[in-house]
Each structure stands twice: as C-alpha cells, then as structure tokens.
Amino acid sequence: MPEASPNRPAPARPRTPKPRTRRGQDTRDSLIKAAEAVIGEVGFAAASIADITRRAGIAQGTFYIYFQSKDEVFRELVLEMGKLTRGFLADAVADAPDRLTAERRGLRAFLSFVAERPALYNIVMEARFVAPDAYRAYYTTFARGYAQNLAAAAREGEIRDGDAEVRAWALMGMAVTLGERFAIWESEVDPDALVTEVFDMLERGLKP
Amino acid sequence: MPEASPNRPAPARPRTPKPRTRRGQDTRDSLIKAAEAVIGEVGFAAASIADITRRAGIAQGTFYIYFQSKDEVFRELVLEMGKLTRGFLADAVADAPDRLTAERRGLRAFLSFVAERPALYNIVMEARFVAPDAYRAYYTTFARGYAQNLAAAAREGEIRDGDAEVRAWALMGMAVTLGERFAIWESEVDPDALVTEVFDMLERGLKP
DNA sequence: CTTCAATATGACGAATGATTCATGTTTCAG
DNA sequence: CTGAAACATGAATCATTCGTCATATTGAAG
C-alpha cells in the first residue's frame, strides 16, 4: 500500500452497468443480500468475496460481473441503507400532529429499525473507515432534512428558536448512540420508556 | 477465516512482558507513537506493521518483541485513549460550581481534545470493529462515571429527576457526533457558540 | 572485563484472499 | 430457430503482509 489516500478524490467510478436480463438482476440481488449479511456480521475486512458468493450460492468470478470490487458492493449497501432508513422514518413520522411528536416517533422508529437490521447498521458505521465519502453523504443527507424540519418548526413557533443545524446533529448523535447502546447491545430498558425519558429532557430541559 | 467470532470469549491474552530496560521502554514508546500516527491516519486494515516500524525507525522484527500482534498495539492505543480522555475531561471540569456548568465545560473540552488528536479519536471509533470488547469497555467506563455525576446532581436538586443512565448515553452520543461533525470535519461554527447553542437546548428544552 | 539476558535486525516462509481469464452456458431479439 | 450478447464458472494468478527465525549487538551486573 504505497499511497493510502485518506481523501480519495472522487474515484472516477466507471460504474458497472446494470444487468440487462431478469436472470442478471436476480443474481445481483442475491449478491447484495449475501453481502449485507456477511459484511454486516463479520465486518468488511473479515468478509471475503468467497464468503459472499458462497452464501449467495454463486461462483466467485460471477461477483465481478456485477461489482468492480469489494469496495463497490459496500458502497452500494451504504446507499441502500440510506434510502431504507429515510423511507422508514418518513413513514413513521408522516402524520404526526407537530414537530415534537414527529421527533419522538422518529427516534422510536429509528430504534426499531436498528434493532431489526443490525447488520445494515454496522455497515453504515464501518463506512466511516471503508468508504468515508459514502459515510459522510449518508449523514449529511440526513442532517439536511432534519435541519429543515427543525427550522420550519421554529418558524411555526412549535419549538424555541435556535441553530437548526447544530440541533440536528446533536439529535442525530443521540439517536445513533442510543441505538447502539439500547437496541444493539442487550438492554434492560424498554424502548418506549427510553424515548419518554429522552424527550422529557429534550422538551423541558434539565433545569429544575 | 473459518470462524469469524463476533463475540471472542476473552482471548486468554498471555501478555507480552513489559520491557526490562530503559532502551526497551524507549523502543516500545516509539512503536506506540508510530502506531497511533499510522493507524489513526490510514486505518487499521491499511496500516501494515512495516509502515509502523518504518515510521518508528525500527526493524520489523522488533515489533514482535513488544507486541504479539497488530491487534495488541491497537488495544493498547484504545486503553491509552481512554485514560487520556478521562484525565483531560476530569481536569477541565474539576472546579465547576455546579453540574450544568461542568457538563458545558466537559463538552467544550471534549471538542478541543478531539480537534487536537483526531488520530486517537479515529482509533477509538474503529475499535468498534477491530476490538469490540475494548470499544465497549471504553464507553461503558465513561458512561458509568457520567451517570453517577448526573444522579448525584439530581439528588442535590441541581437538575430535574430522570434516568441517569439514559441521560448519560444520550449526552455522550451528542458529544461524539458533534465532535466528529464540528471538530474533525471542517466547520464554520465556532466551538463556543456551538456549546452555547447545545446547552440552551439541554437546559431549557425545546418547548417554546 | 566477562558474560548473559535483553534487545535488535531484516530476510524469508507461508498464508491469504482479491481479481482475472479462458472457457462454457443461457437468454432473448429478430 | 438461431446466433450474438449476457451471464456463469472456478482454477490460476499475483500482490500483499503477517509473523518467524537465525544471527548480531548492547549494556549492565558481578
């Protein structure tokens, strides 16, 4: 590894073309699914292409018909995770009467999501080291939407004024860590109680 | 990798003995320092023993006099990071008049620390994948102290009652993510303003 | 000034695992 | 039905790097 570039300058990805056949699409799907399982369980470094193709029930070489490298599947997975999470949260929050309720439901939904797909969650976390740009994009995209919602709510007078971006990152950070601690590690704490507790602090503050 | 064990059951570490000589201690120190720099910059996987020893100005084989494996230096680094951070924060918070002030100063200090030693911070984050037990120990130790402080403050009436453990993890999560976003990535936001903003939310709550 | 344990060296053995490739097989448009 | 494009195969390639070892060197106790 002569040049380990921390800031890879837009890898100029030529993009493996999409499958042109039903069969091809199916194979690709199997690979993605297997990759999620394997990489999510044992981590990127420990997951070999052989592991992935074996799990998918497919020959090794076939992998390279659909992805240029191990890196590329990984990125694909991060992208997918982004879409899934955003969709899931959007649904959970869709008909909330106000922003604070929406936030509460959002956190609750996030915890459920993490508990149900720990593998995908691990992949996003590991992206910080395997695909920093994808990782950043994931959180930045999230934060943007989050901040917009908070700003709008402040405008409506639903919450006090304040820096929406800072708040967005602070809230996201809470969610991420709480998810890891109470949804992935074993937890004695009931998720609903957890959310209630957190929002007591967030809504009313810590001051007596 | 036949068995990729997510839960390694206490690796039965025979422990490389400490150096018996001044020279040995110096060499070990060089290696630790080099390892922090290299691993922190390029990540665990990309960092080779050769990179580390080269940076330390020492022969490859010498590495194995002081560490049994790449994993072992890494663990050492996580441990060190834990001690450093706790010491730094303890100092920063030492003579705060009350808990809320202490929290504020703690966050501010944490942001400075991260900004000054991003490599160490990266290592702790990566520990989630390289040395899960060390990672967990790091955060659990932190959270315990944090929760005790919060519980005490609640008892004193300095803050409202509430689940100290949940609060501790929520606050830690905020700090971690804010550190990454505003202290490691480029930031337009002034750290002091950031802290003020966050504590406005934490102390008074979001409700209008 | 010996002597031996501690420390240092760097070339090398061995394993690993990503990626390629030459060779089939399947699909589907026409 | 047919042939070209897609797709599939898995053995072979190839670069990388961990960790070992046989061989020095150092330094301090006696």
> Which pLDDT tens digit goes with each residue over B67-93?
999 999 999 999 999 999 999 999 999
Instruction: Tell me what pLDDT residue A1 has.
Output: 34
Question: What band does B106 get if pLDDT is binned at 50, 70 and 90?
Answer: very high
CB contact under 8 A, A206 and B1: no
Residue contacts between A and B (CB atoms, under 8 Å)? 160
CA B58 and chain centroid, separation:
27
Amino acid (1-letter code) at residue B42:
V
Instruction: Tell me what pLDDT residue A17 has.
Output: 87
| Mean pLDDT along residues B11-27 | 80
CB contact under 8 A, A174 and B174: yes
> For helices A191-204 and A164-178, what crossing angle results, to 10°?
160
Q: Is the CB of A49 under 7 A from strand C?
A: yes
| Mean pLDDT along residues A130-150 | 97
Chain C: nucleotides below 7 Å from protein CB are 5-12, 16-22, 26-28
Preferred mutation among A103, A159, A201, A204 to probe B, highest tally of B CBs within 10 A: A201
CB contact under 8 A, B206 and A159: yes
Instruction: Tell me what pLDDT residue A11 has.
Output: 43
Secondary structure class of B178 (helix, strand, coil): helix
Instruction: Tell me what pLDDT residue A40 has.
Output: 96
Q: Any idea of the CA torsion for B183, B189, B193, B194, to the nearest 10 degrees?
A: -50
pLDDT at A106 over 70: yes
Tokens of B203: 């102390």
Nearest residue to nucleotide D20 when comparing alpha carbons to its C1'?
B61
Q: Which residue has the higher pLDDT, B2 or A203?
A: A203
Query: Please, where are the H alpha helices in chain B?
Result: 22-42, 49-56, 63-66, 70-93, 99-116, 118-130, 132-156, 164-179, 191-204
Preferred mutation among A129, A187, A194, A203 to probe B, highest tally of B CBs within 10 A: A129
Which CA distances in Å does A208 have to A37, A204, B156, B159, B160?
47, 9, 11, 5, 5
Q: Name the burial class of residue A13, with classes exposed (0-12), middle (13-18) and buried (19+) by CB atoms within 10 angstroms of its CB.
A: exposed
The pLDDT tens digits of the residues spanning B39-65 come to: 999 999 999 999 999 999 999 999 999
Tokens of A54: 């074996």
Give the one of B157, B158, B167 whose C-beta lies nearest to A201's C-beta. Answer: B167
Question: What band does B14 get if pLDDT is binned at 50, 70 and 90?
Answer: low
Question: What band does A186 get if pLDDT is binned at 50, 70 and 90?
Answer: confident
CB contact under 8 A, B167 and A4: no
Q: Is the CB of B61 under 7 A from strand C?
A: yes
Question: What band does B147 get if pLDDT is binned at 50, 70 and 90?
Answer: very high
Q: Which residue from A minimizes the CA distance to B45?
A: A45
Report the alpha-carbon distance of residue B196 to residue A77 in Å, rounded. 37
